[in-house]
Structure 1
Amino acid sequence: MHRMSFWLAIGFALVASPAWALINGQFDDEGRYGAVVALWSEGERRCSATKIDSNTFLTAAHCVVDVARGKLSSPFQPGGTLLISARPESRPSDTQALVVANTELPPAFAAGLQRLYDYQQSRIEEYRARYNGEDLARRIRRVQADSRITDRFPDAALVRVVTPTPAIPQLPVSLAPLPAGADVILVGYGCERVSDWRRSDRRDRPARRLWGRSQVIRVDGVNFYTFGSERRAGSATLCPGDSGGPVLLDGRVVGVHGTVWGLSHRDTARSNMSVNLHGLIDWKAWIPLASF
């Protein structure tokens, strides 16, 4: 069986399915998770996010940065325009344009991003002195593709907006310690089947908000890991597009989707990796957003 580990944003431009979904998830047709929204760009569903305050959305840091440039992507810079949809079944035509006030990254992630960018630029300069043409372009692509830093740095971001969103509810955040063995709920707008990634009609397919259950395997200072369906049948399994969506415990956000390990073409995975928000308890940007 062919296996892969995915930084979930890597595949979002390629993902397509009849109904974008969390693998092994249930359609949120009753709108119980209306605080979870889809982030759109250029007609493509990019990531998921959660409204946690009247003007603040929590998502994954890799959803808001341009790694090749070592900085925030233009929609997430002050004055940028962010397109979101809170509909359970979302299409590009359903999006609401929000003006961004500012986007904050955890200091450790921002520092890691800068180090990665500096390293990539130094390698690219070396290659430019030795190669040219397609050989140079291929080597640059290879360097820029080596950009996963989410397993070492907290992959979270707070996006504050100017535009009011009164119709979208909020979910509270908890920074309390998360125990191994906790039963949690995963929510997101990710793909439903790995086999559908290369569909040519992906832009015509809706993104659906789904939720599913899993259990925490282990917790460290940066991330925690939940069962994928390979290790525990029926467990929710993340798929590209779920990035930035919430992990919920007792109705509170305790984590942010980041990476799925061992995702296979049989629509199974070993585990899901999510940011451990308790590890960000000293992040000043939380004040006054979270409970402790």
Structure 2
Amino acid sequence: MPASQARRVPCYPGRLLFLLLCLISLPSAALINGQLDRAGAYGAVVTIWRTQDSRCSAAKIAPRTFLTAAHCVIDVPSGGLAPAFRTGGQIRVSNAAIADWPSAEPLVVARTDLPPRFERGLRRLYAYQQGLIADYRKGYSGAELDRRIRLVHADSRISDRFPDAALVRVAQATPRIPVIPVRLAPLAAGAEVILVGYGCERVSDWRRGRSRRQAARRTWGRSRVIRVDSVNFYSFAGERLAGSATLCPGDSGGPVLFEGDVVGVHGTVWGLSHRDTARSNMSVNLHGLRDWGAWPD
């Protein structure tokens, strides 16, 4: 656990509760308004596949530890970790500027940690959803029941009330991937930040299923912090400030950088439209996780 805040490390029963639960976004593939990292300046940023059709971004913050988004590693229907991220599961990782599934390195997961607050939120969400599904089973069957269950699982929004971060520890060393430091000090509104990820460059690309199997490009772009709360902070996206980096599916789990250090994790982009623009990007505020006991030494 970090010794100090500035230390660097290498909606349940009832309608109100339902409204309090916030949507785990789709894994955010390249950054809108970004540019390809041709020079390899952000080699510590990787793309992680849990299946050939499901990938997120992450940052290597210790020799065998990757920081990503919690919604990238969980399985909502079961209320726990996705099989690939359980102990002994297998993921594929690449830090190539243009990465694909066949050439990504297979890694065995030793352990995945979620912030305690997120774990509690996930358990409550699971209990609430199971209650809804039990009620549906009393009145529906067949295709209609399946449809309703899918809708329940799709409405799984908890990322703006609970810290959407995860630490994935792997069994093997990855010496070719550099480590980037984490900064847990407070981040101020107005800070100039860099967003990095392997997300789609147009939303329309992600909507085409085959596009998810195409090579992922590591891109980066600039933005500025709008406001900060205890769980998240928000940065300008293209619709509110022209030219600002805008998260896109596949970017989820990637880092927000301030002065070269990781200060946040890409979570959700709000109001993303068919024009590939949005008003803001939501990222996990790592300062709010400064007392998380899972941080690597």
Task: Mark yes or no: TM-score above 0.5.
Answer: yes
Alpha-carbon displacement from aligned partner over 1:232-276 (angstroms, at most 9, x marks no partner): 000000000000000000000000000001111111100000000
Structure 2 CA distance for aligned equivalents of residues 251 and 219 of structure 1:
19
The SS at the match of 2:130 is helix
Instruction: Show CA shifts across 1:184-223 (max 9, x none).
Output: 0000000001222333542552100000000000000000
Task: Give the deviation of 1:141 after TM superposition.
Answer: 1.4
Say whether residues 1:242 and 2:258 are aligned partners: no
Give the structure 1 partner of residue 12 of structure 2.
Answer: none
Aligned to 1:118: 127
Take 1:187 and 1:279, find their aligned partners in 2: how far apart are those partners?
A: 21
Q: Which residue of 2 aligns with 1:220?
A: 229
Structure 1 residues 267 and 153: CA distance shift in structure 2, 3 A: same
State the 1:45 CA deviation: 5.0
Q: Quote the Cα distance in structure 1 between the aligned partners of 2:145 and 2:214.
A: 37
Q: Is 1:137 aligned to 2:146, yes or no?
A: yes
Number of aligned residue pairs: give it.
276
Which whole-Å CA distance do the structure 2 matches of 1:115 and 1:72 have between them? 15
TM-score when scaled to structure 2?
0.89
Question: What percentage of residue pairs aligned between the two structures are identical?
Answer: 65
Q: What residue number does 1:65 align with?
A: 74
Structure 1 Cα separation of the partners of residues 24 and 42 of structure 2: 21
Q: Which residue, 244, 251, 262 being the options, matches 2:260?
A: 251
Give the corresponding residue for 2:31: 22
In 1, the alpha carbon distance for the partners of 2:134 and 2:270 equals 33
CA apart distance, 1:8: 7.3
Structure 1 moving runs of 4+ over 6 Å: none
Cα distance, 1:11 vs structure 2: 6.2
2:24–2:156 contact (8 Å) kept in structure 1 = no
Measure the CA separation in 1 of the matches of 2:79 and 2:209: 31
Q: Are 1:282 and 2:270 counterparts?
A: no
Distance between the aligned counterparts of 2:287 and 2:259, measured in 1?
A: 15
Using the alignment, how far apart are the partners of 2:287 and 2:35 within structure 1? 27
Summarize the Cα distance change of 1:8–1:207 in structure 2 as closer, same or farther, 3 Å threshold.
Answer: farther
1:180 equivalent to 2:196? Answer no
Cα separation, partners in 2 of 1:109 and 1:8, compared to 1, 3 Å: closer
Gaps of 5+ in 2: 1-21
Q: Is the 8 A contact 2:24 2:158 kept in 1?
A: no
Higher strand share: 1
Residues in 1 aligned to 2:209 and 2:87: alpha-carbon distance in whole angstroms: 34
Alpha-carbon separation, structure 2, partners of 1:274 and 1:24: 17
Give how far 1:57 is off: 0.2
Letter in 2 for 1:274: S
CA RMSD of the aligned region, Å? Answer: 1.6
Residue 44 in 1 paired to residue 53 in 2?
A: yes
Write the distance in 2 (CA, Å) between the matches of 1:97 and 1:215. 35
Partner amino acid for 1:106?
Answer: P
Aligned to 2:15: none
**C-alpha contact 2:256 2:266 (8 A) present in aligned 1:** yes
Give the letter for the 1:166 counterpart. P
Structure 1 residue corresponding to 2:113, chosen from 96, 104, 108 = 104
Between stretches 36-45 and 278-287, larger displacement belongs to: 36-45
- Aligned position for 1:265: 274
